[in-house]
Amino acid sequence: MECGETLEEAAAREIREEALIAVNPNALVFYALSSLRDMDQVYVSFRTEVQDLQVGCGPECVEVRYFTEDEFPWNSLAYPEMVGFFRLYFRERRAGEFSIHLTHLDASEIVRSTYAIGEVKHVRQPRGAARST
């Protein structure tokens, strides 16, 4: 993240920089948070629909493509531990029901907590304004 960015703005910027895809930060839906202890990294994942299917490689990537589940390169991911994550996504996509996932990965195990959610609601109000229920 850059100074002054929201998490969604940072994700949209990274998508634009790496895959040359313009994504509206307000259209991103939180999907997963993964802590990779052995790498000292945290991955945040969002879902969204992309209007313009054109993609390209920014300076930090080697290849950018869309894949159907049948075309997905299961055996050639840079991070093989992500196979389970992508299988989970495709399973939820087929079912048309998504959850939120919190995952901890380390050398000995993967621990995933899944939270079922209903409708996603976005509320904007000025700071200090009384909230209505």
Any idea what the CATH number is for the domain that residue 74 is in?
3.90.79.10
Give me the sheet containing 29-36, strands edge to edge. Answer: 41-47, 29-36, 99-105, 110-116
Q: What is the per-residue pLDDT for 119?
A: 65
**Structural domain boundaries enclosing 63:** 7-116
pLDDT of 117 strictly over 90: no
Domain for residue 130, yes or no?
no
Around Cβ 107, how many Cβ atoms within 10 Å? 6
Express the helix, strand and coil content of the chain in percent, nearest 5 each: 30, 20, 50
Instruction: Please write the tens of the pLDDT for every residue from 49-75.
Output: 988 888 899 988 888 888 899 999 999
Around Cβ 64, how many Cβ atoms within 10 Å? 14
Annotate 9-19 with b (16+ C-beta within 10 A) or e (fewer). Answer: eebbeebeebb
Q: What is the per-residue pLDDT for 121?
A: 64
Residue 50 to residue 52: CA distance in whole angstroms: 6
Domain for residue 25, yes or no?
yes
Q: Taking Cα atoms as reference points, which of 113, 104, 16, 114 lies closest to residue 59?
A: 16
H or E stretch covering 124: none
For residue 54, report the phi and psi dihedrals to the nearest 5 degrees: -70, 135
pLDDT of 131 strictly over 60: no
Domain for residue 96, yes or no?
yes
Q: What is the per-residue pLDDT for 105?
A: 81
Domain for residue 32, yes or no?
yes
Structurally, how many domains does the chain consist of? 1
Dihedral sign computed on CA atoms, order 20, 26, 31, 32: positive
Instruction: Please write the tens of the pLDDT for every residue from 72-96.
Output: 999 988 777 778 889 999 999 999 9
pLDDT averaged over every residue in the chain: 86
Instruction: Please write the tens of the pLDDT for every residue from 26-40.
Output: 999 999 998 988 889
Domain for residue 104, yes or no?
yes
pTM for this predicted structure: 0.79
